[in-house]
Amino acid sequence: MGTVTAFRPRREPDAVNFGDLPPAIDALLQEGVRAYRTDPVEADRFFREARAAAPAELATYFCLYKIHTYGGNLEAAEETAQSGLQEAARQAGWPRDWRQWQAPCALDGPGRFALYTLKALAFISLRQADRARAREILDALEKFDPTGAVGWSVVAAIADGSA
């Protein structure tokens, strides 16, 4: 008799690596990614279902704010990014208000996600034509992440180019 091995679901070649997530949440996010190609409304439904089921999983916020930014629904993108920023700050043990964070910030785990999401908020602010808010965020990011590890300098270059 042969040996029996544990079943491990095979990851599709185009699957997105969202990190260490519960399998059911990862499955919902993967479905959302697949749906986004043809039906952004259905993708939104999958991503919202994942966030409702696991509100502490930061990847769910990322998926939602990304698709809404890409789709030009900047109000929804901003709302979701703000929620994700609050959750990441909570997990990192940081104050809720990013203006109270201590520089330089930790560049791993929820701290990295918080900084990345703050960068997203700067980009969203630019898309909303709120250059003052974008600049305030970018100036803070320069202090929080002086090496530019989360890529805020790209958004800063966009801001500087659109003056």
Q: Helix, strand, or coil here: 133?
A: helix
Weakly modelled stretches of the chain, pLDDT under 50: 1-10, 163
pLDDT digits (tens, 9 = 90+) for 39-68: 999 999 999 999 999 999 999 999 999 999
Q: CA–CA separation, 161 vs 119, rounded Å?
A: 17
Token readout for 110 is 């929820």
Taking the model in full, what pTM does it have? 0.88
pLDDT digits (tens, 9 = 90+) for 140-156: 999 999 999 999 999 99
Residue 53 has phi, psi (to 5 degrees) of -75, -30
Task: Specify the fold of 23-161.
Answer: 1.25.40
Q: CA–CA separation, 115 vs 137, rounded Å?
A: 10
